Structure 1
Amino acid sequence: MGETVQTLAYGEWPSPIDAATAAAHDGSPEFVGFVGDEVWWTEPRPAEAGRRALVRRHADGTEESVLPAPWNVRSRVIEYGGRPWAGTVGDDGSPLVVFVHFADQRLYRFEPGGEPRPLTPVSPVGQGLRWAEPVLLPERGEVWCVLEEFTGDGPGDVRRVLAAVPLDGSAAEDRAAVRELSDGRHRFVTGPRLAPDGRRAAWIAWDHPRMPWDGTELLVADVTPDGTLGEARTVAGGPEESVAQADWSHDGRLLYASDRTGWWNLYRDGEPLCPREEEFGGPLWKLGHRWFAPLDGGLVAVLHGKGALALGILDPETGEVVDAAGPWSEFAACLAAHGERVVAVGAGPRTAHEVVELDTRTGRARVIGAAHRDAVDPAYYPEPQVRTFTGPDGREIHAHLHPPHNPDCTGPAGELPPYVIWAHGGPTGRVPLVLDLEIAYFTSRGIGVAEVNYGGSTGYGRAYRNRLRGQWGVVDVEDCAAVALGLADEGTADRNRLAVRGGSAGGWTTAASLTTTDVYACGTIIYPVLDLTGWSSGETHDFESQYLETLIGPLAEVPERYAERSPTTHADRLSVPFLLLQGLDDVICPPVQCERFLNRLAGRGVPHAYLTFEGEGHGFRRAETMVRALEAELSLYAQVFGLKVPGVPVLELGT
C-alpha cells in the first residue's frame, strides 16, 4: 500500500486483484462427510478444466487429493447434481469410497492404492444412467442411491427411483443387476435415509409442476429382511408444504424440516422442536443438501437464521439453540456429523468458504480444510453493508452493498461512482454475504456492486419467496431497479452510470431489466433464460421444465404472458450496450436462446458482444473462461462509463 492516497476517477483505480486471481479462487468446498474419523469433501479445480476433486484430510491434518485428473467427482442428476460420493472404513481399516465420475456418470468403487472400478453400466439411451446421494451398506454388499434413468433422447424422457447397486461390480455391464427399491410413482426423489436399526427408510418425493420448495412429500417405508422396501406412506408434506430434508435421530425418531408455518422449521415425529420465524432449511437445488445433522447424544446440529444461516446446536428437549463461535457469518447447506463432531462449510465477508469443524462440547469451531488464504492484501477487499430498501407498495427488499474500496485511492470530490446491480440466479435462491473476488475485482477499481435478494429469494420465509409467483420478470426487475434508483437518490451511486448483471435466472432479470426499464446504461447477461415459450416447450431439462407454471402462470391458461414477459419478444426495445456470455454445452439455458434473441436484435445498431465458450455448461468452471468473461465485463463498463482501464483487453462491440 502506498503512503499517499491518490485521487483518481472511479473505475480507474489500480488494483492488485486481476481476473486470473479472481478465477483461481472461484468455487467452494462442498459435500463434506466422514470416512471413519476422517473428513473428506469435494473441491473445485478451476485450473484443471474445472473438475471437482475429492479431498481427504488425514489424521495429522494434511490434505490429499485422492483421485488425479481427469477424475471429476460430480453428479448430473437433475443437472444441478447431488451428493456424488460416500465412504466408510473397510474391514481392514482402510477407506472404501464410492463416487460418481462426471464424464460418464457411472458410479465407481475406490480404495486408496488401487484404481477406481465401475459399479454401474453406461446406458445406450439418451443421456444415460446417473446416480446421486449414495449410501454405503457393506453389510448388504450394496450402495443405495438415487437412479436417474433416461428412457429416450428427449430431456423429459426420464424416470427416477431409489436403487441398490451391488458393491461387487456385477452391475458394471449389466443394468438388470441393479435392484430398484421404489416404484417410480414420483417424478423426483431424494436419496434414502436409513433409520439406525436399518428397519425403515425415509426419503422425499415431488412431482411436476411443483418445484421442491413449493411442495414435497416425506415418505417412509419399512425395510424387509430381504432388503426390499415395503409400501411407502406419506407422513408430512403436500402441495403447499415443502419438506426440504429428513433424517433419523440416534433413537430412531424422524426429524424433518418443513415450512408448514411459512418458515422452514424442524420437526420430530410431527412435533415442532424450535418454532421460530427463521429458516432451518432451504431450496433443494441439489440432492443431498443438508441443513441439519443429528448427533449421537440426541442434540441436532442446525443451520438457521433469517437471511444468513448460522451454525448452531439445538437441544430438542428445551428448544434452545447455541450458536458456534467464530468469524463465519454464512454457512452452506452442507452439514455432516459423526459422534459428537460436526463439520460444515462456512464463510464471511473477509473469508471464502472453508471446511469448519465444531466441537459440540466446547462450542468452539476451527478451520480444518480448504483454509482461506488471502490472495492479495485484504485491505483491498470490499467492506460490505447489509441494507434493506423500499420497493413498490412499500415492500422490503434485502440487498448487500459493496461500495468502491481501495486503500490507495479515492474518487474526485463531487463525483459519484458507477454501480453494478447483481441479480442472483435461481430465481428461488439467495446470494450469501461472503468474500467474492469477482466483486473485489470491481470494487477495488472504484466500481460499486449491489447484490439484490429480490422478492422470490429464500431465507426470508415463504411469503417473501411467493412474491415471485406469477410475477417473474416483474417483481425481480422492479426490486433491482428500486435498489439502483435508491442508491442514486441517496447520493451513493451515479444515476447515469448504473449497470445490471446476472447469470441464469439472473441473466433473465438482467435482460428483462434492459428491455423494460430505462434505469441502466448497460448490462452483462450470462447464460440466461430469454424466451419462455421455447424454454417451457422442451428447450431445457426436466427438473425445471415446469418451473414457469408457478413463476409465470399455467401455460394452458396464460400463454400470452409467456410471450409478453420474454426479453426476446421485446428485443426491439433494447437500446443500451450489452455483453452476452454463454457456455456451448449448457443444457439448462441452451445457446439457442441467445441466438434467437440476437436475431431479433439484428440491424438495430445496438452495440454488443456475444462470447461463447466450448466445454462450459451452466456455470463457468474453467479458469480461462472466467478470466475472459471478467475482463470482457470490465471492458464493457469502461467503454460505456468512459473509463481508462489499462492492461485489460478491449471488448469489441459490434452492432
Structure 2
Amino acid sequence: MLPTDIDLLRILGRPTLSGDGRLAVVSATRADLAADANATELWVAATDATTPARRLTEGPHDGAPAFSPDGRWLAFLRPVAGGPAQIHLLPMDGGDPFPVTDHPLGAGRPVWSPDSRRIAHTARVPDPGRYLPGVPASRERPRRITSLRYMADGLGYTFDRPRQVFVTDPFAPTPATTRVTEGRHDHDEVSWSPDGTLLTFVSGRHPTHADDLRRDVWVCAPDGTGLRALTHGGLEMSCPLFSPDGTLVCFTAETLTDDNRARGASSYGLWSVPADGSRPPVRLTDPEPYHLSFSSLMIETAADGVYFPNDWHGEVHLLLVPYDGGEPTPVITGPRQVNGFAVADGPDGPTLAAVISGEQSAGDLVSLHAGTERELTDFGARLRARGDLRPVEEFTAHADDGYPLQGWVVRPPGPGPHPVLLQIKGGPYTQWGYTLNGPASFEEAQVYATAGYAVVLGNPRGTSGYGQAHGRYAADDLAHKTAPDLLALLDTALRAPDLDADRVGVQGGSFGGYMSAWLAAHHGKRFRAAMGERGCYAIDSHFGSADDGVNNSIALYGADPARWAEISPLTHADRIDIPMLFIQSEDDRHTPMEQAQRMFVALRMRGVPAEMLLFPGEGHDMSRTGLPSHRLARYEAILDWWSRHMTEEDGRT
C-alpha cells in the first residue's frame, strides 16, 4: 500500500434503512487527490443484494442520510452556495434534492418524526454580531471568556454559538422551522418518541454546565413546552433513544467524579431511564466487559432490545442487550469492526445494515437478515486488487508480571532482517484493531510495511477492549506502567529472526506521541530515532491551553499538579539523545502546538537532531481527515525520516 492509495480508502458513515428494510443508503468519503479535497457522496444498495450498489448523489459534500419512515424521502446534509451544510430532501420516486433549512452556521443530522412529516435537528446559534458572512476571523470582536469549556478541536470557539434543537416542517403550506430550546447551553443528539409527542436530547443545563462534563437526558414537546430532566448529574452521556413502546429512554454514559469530571479509563456503558422520570437511571451493561466502541459511537433501540457496539480484543462486536439488562446476544462478531449500523424491524424479523471494516478494508456496507449476511459494496476489494496488502500477524506477549498482551506484526516482503517500527496508538482508552479506518487502524502499518519496515503494534494495559480492570491498570501512573507493557510487546516481536533488533524506531500520535517521547527519554538506547505526533509533552501547559485540558489532564495524569512535572516528557528532555521528529497541526486545540514547540526547542538547545513539521489549517485529526496533500506530505516526511535514521553501519538500508 502506497501513500497515494488513500484515494481507495472509502470511509463509510452511519447507514440508514428504509422503513421496510429493502434499501440502505450510506455516505462514502474519499480523498480526491486531483482536487486536493475530501469528497463525500451517497450510495444506495438493495439489502437483498439483487442489484449492485450505485452512487445516489454526486456530492461532493453530502452526508448524514436519513430515510423517512414511509420511505418516500431521503433527508441529508449538503452545503448551499458554498456556505454551511443544510438539510436537503431527495424524493425517492424521482426528482432533484432541495434545501429545507437555512441556519447561518448550518444544520446538524436530520431525524425524522414517526409520521414522516417533521424533521428534528440541532444547529449552532451565534451570538448577535458573531460569525457574520464575509467577516474574517481577524475582524471579529474580542471574546470575553468566563468558563472553562469554551472551544473544541475542529470547531474553534463554541461558547458563543451553542447548539439548539429545532423542528422543521418542510411539507406545511408555508414551510417553517421552530426553535425548541433556548439558553447558553449546548443541546445535542435529538430523537423522537414513537408517538411523535416528545423529543429527547442531552444537555448540560445546570449552573456549572460550561465548567464540567455533566450532561443530562431531557425531554420536551416538539414545541419546547414541558421541558424536564430525566437524569440529575453524575454522568457524561450521548445517544438518547426511546424504546419502541415509549416507556424508556436508553442512552450511553460513563460515570463522573463527585465534581462531575472525567475518570480515567471509565467504561462507556448502556443505561435506561423511565420516560416519565419515575425512577433514577439504571445501567444495563456490566462495566467490566462492555464498553461502547468509539468507532461507532451509536446505539439503536428495537423490539427485542438495544443494539450496542462493543470493543473486544481489537474487534468491535454488535450485541443485542435486553431491556432488563440480561446477558447480551452476539449479532456480529469476528476479527473485524462494526463502524455504524441501522435496524429496521419487519414482520419476518429485523433487517440490519452495517458498515464493517477489517484488517484489509476501511469498511463496506453489509446487510443481515434471518441469519444471512450479504456484502453490498466492494470498496475493500478494490483496494486489495490494487495494493499488495501485507498479512497482519497476531501474537501474544507477556508483561513482567506474566499478564498477557495482544500484539500484531505487519511484515514487509522478503526474508529480512527488517528494520522495525514500534507504533503506539493514541487514546489511551482505545484499541488497535482489525480495521483500516479510524484512529487506531492498520492503515499506516500497511504503508510502512510496503516501504520496507516491520511494524509492531499492541494493546498495553490502559486500552479498551479487555475489560475495565485492564483499562484502569495504568490510570494512576500512565507513563511508568504503560512503558513496560510496550517494551514487552516489542521484545516478543523481536524474537523473530527476520526482525532487526539493532534497527528499531518508535513513533505514535496523541497519547502515542507522549509515550514515544517518554520512551526516547527513558529507553533511548533501544531506538535509532523517535517521532511524536500531536502529543502531550508538558502536562502543566496542556492543562491550561487544550480544549478540554482541565478534564483530560486530570483524568489521564492525576489531579496533583506537583506530580505533573515528573511524568511530563519535557522534564526529561535532557535525557533524550536520539533524533526526534515532531509533527503538529497549527490549529490543533486538543494538544496545542506549544506542546511540540517546547519539546523541539528543548532538544535543539542541547544540540539533539530535532525537526518539527507544522501543518497549517489542520486540527488534531489531520492524519485521517486533513487535506489529501497534507496527508501525503505527512507520509513523505515520516518515510524520509526513517530512511535517514534506519541505515545500517555498512550503508545498507
- 1:460-509, CA deviations, whole angstroms, 9 ceiling, x for partnerless residues? 22233333434344333343233223434676743322211112232222
What is the letter of the counterpart of residue 423 of structure 2? W
Report what 1:529 is aligned to: 536
Match of 1:230 in 2: 227
Alignment partner, residue 75 of structure 2: 96
Query: Is the counterpart of residue 475 in structure 1 residue 481 in structure 2?
Result: yes
Between 340-349 and 577-586, report the one with greater CA deviation. Answer: 577-586
Residue number in structure 2 paired with 1:79: none
Q: What is the CA–CA distance in structure 2 between the aligned matches of 1:31 and 1:102, rounded to whole Å?
A: 25
Q: Contact 1:202 / 1:218 at 8 angstroms: preserved in 2? A: no
Query: Deviations 1:599-624 (Å, cap 9, x if unpaired)?
Result: 22224333343333344332233333
Shift of 1:346: 1.1
Mind listing any 5+ residue stretches in structure 2 that lack a counterpart?
Answer: 131-141, 152-156, 256-264, 274-280, 437-441
C-alpha distance in 1 between matches for 2:341 and 2:17: 11
Q: Which letter maps to 1:40?
A: V
Q: Specify the alignment match of 1:12 in structure 2.
A: none
| Identity %, equivalent residues | 18
CA distance in 2, matches of 1:638, 1:424: 22
Q: 1:197 aligns with which of 187, 195, 198?
A: 195
Matches within 5 A, 1:256-271: 256-257=251-252, 266=270
What is the aligned partner in structure 2 of residue 144 from structure 1?
121
Aligned equivalent of 1:29: 12
- CA pair 640-166 structure 1, distance change in 2 beyond 3 A: same
Shift of 1:642: 1.2
Tell me the amino acid that sits aligned with residue 223 of structure 1.
Answer: A
Inter-partner Cα distance in structure 2 for 1:615 and 1:217: 31
The answer to whether residue 368 in structure 2 is matched with residue 358 in structure 1 is yes
TM-score for both structures, normalised by structure 2: 0.75
The letter for the 2-side match of 1:143 is A
**CA separation in 2, counterparts of 1:404 and 1:513?**
23
Please state how far the C-alpha of 1:35 moved relative to its aligned partner.
Answer: 5.2
Contact 1:262 1:461 in 2 (8 A): no
Measured in 2, the distance between the counterparts of 1:610 and 1:264 equals 36
Is the CA contact 1:345–1:354 (under 8 Å) kept in the aligned structure 2?
yes
Q: Distance in 2 between matches of 1:38 and 1:505?
A: 40
Which residue identity lines up with residue 43 of structure 1 in the other structure?
A: A
Measure the CA separation in 1 of the matches of 2:10 and 2:435: 12
CA distance in 2: counterparts of 1:482 and 1:350, whole angstroms: 26
Query: What RMSD over aligned residues (CA atoms) do the two structures have, in Å?
Result: 4.2
CA distance, structure 1, for counterparts of residue 316 and residue 108 of structure 2: 25
* 2:41/2:59 contact within 8 Å kept: no
- Paired AA for residue 371 in structure 1: F
Q: What's the secondary structure of 2:42's corresponding residue?
A: strand
Contact 2:358 2:434 in 1 (8 A): yes
Q: Is the 8 A contact 1:133 1:190 kept in 2?
A: no
Tell me the TM-score normalized by structure 1: 0.75
Name the structure 1 match of 2:133. none
Tell me if the contact between 1:329 and 1:347 (Cα under 8 Å) persists in the aligned partners.
Answer: no
Deviation at 1:231, TM superposition (A): 1.6
1:623 paired to 2:610: no
Name structure 1 gaps, 5 residues minimum: 1-16, 74-84, 123-128, 651-655
Contact 1:277 1:461 in 2 (8 A): yes
Deviation at 1:378, TM superposition (A): 8.9
What CA distance in whole angstroms lies between the structure 2 residues aligned with 1:381 and 1:277?
A: 35
Counterparts of residues 203-214 of structure 1 (less than 5 Å): 203-205=201-203
**CA drift at 1:168:** 5.6
Q: How does 1:35-434 map to 2 (within 5 A)?
A: 37-47=22-32, 48-59=35-46, 60-64=51-55, 66-69=57-60, 71=61, 73=63, 85-89=64-68, 93-98=72-77, 105-111=84-90, 113-114=95-96, 117=99, 119-122=101-104, 129=105, 132-137=108-113, 141-145=118-122, 147=124, 153=143, 155-156=150-151, 158-159=158-159, 160-166=162-168, 179-181=179-181, 190-205=188-203, 219-223=217-221, 226-234=223-231, 239=234, 245-252=239-246, 253-257=248-252, 266=270, 277-279=288-290, 281-283=292-294, 289-290=297-298, 292-295=299-302, 297-304=303-310, 306-307=312-313, 308-313=315-320, 319=326, 323-324=330-331, 329-339=335-345, 340-359=350-369, 362-369=370-377, 371-376=379-384, 380-391=388-399, 394=401, 396=403, 398-406=405-413, 409-411=414-416, 415=417, 417-434=418-435
* Residue range with higher mean Cα deviation, 616-625 or 333-342: 616-625
Answer yes or no: is the 8 Å Cα contact 2:360–2:435 preserved in 1. yes
Judging changes above 3 Å, is the alpha-carbon distance between structure 1 residues 451 and 391 closer, same or farther for their aligned structure 2 residues? same
Does the aligned pair in 1 maintain the 2:25–2:65 contact within 8 Å?
Answer: no
Superposition deviation, residue 363 in structure 1: 1.5
Shift of 1:196: 1.0
Moved more, 161-170 or 601-610: 161-170
Note the 1:498-647 alignment, pairs <5 A. Answer: 498-518=504-524, 519-538=526-545, 540-541=546-547, 543=548, 545-554=550-559, 557-558=560-561, 560-618=562-620, 619-620=622-623, 621-642=626-647
Q: Which amino acid aligns with 2:363?
A: H
Query: 2: CA distance between counterparts of 1:462 and 1:215?
Result: 20
Higher mean alpha-carbon deviation, 188-197 vs 254-263, is at 254-263
CA distance in 2, matches of 1:58, 1:404: 36
Report the CA distance between 1:299 and its aligned residue: 4.7
Change (3 A) 1:586 1:395: farther
Change (3 A) 1:146 1:483: farther
Deviation of 1:106 (Å): 4.7
Q: Kindly state the Cα deviation for residue 551 of structure 1 after the two structures are TM-superposed.
A: 1.0
Letter in 2 for 1:548: S
Distance 1:53 1:527 in 2: 26
Matched residues, number: 579
Aligned residue for 2:278? none
Aligned residue for 2:519, secondary structure, equals helix
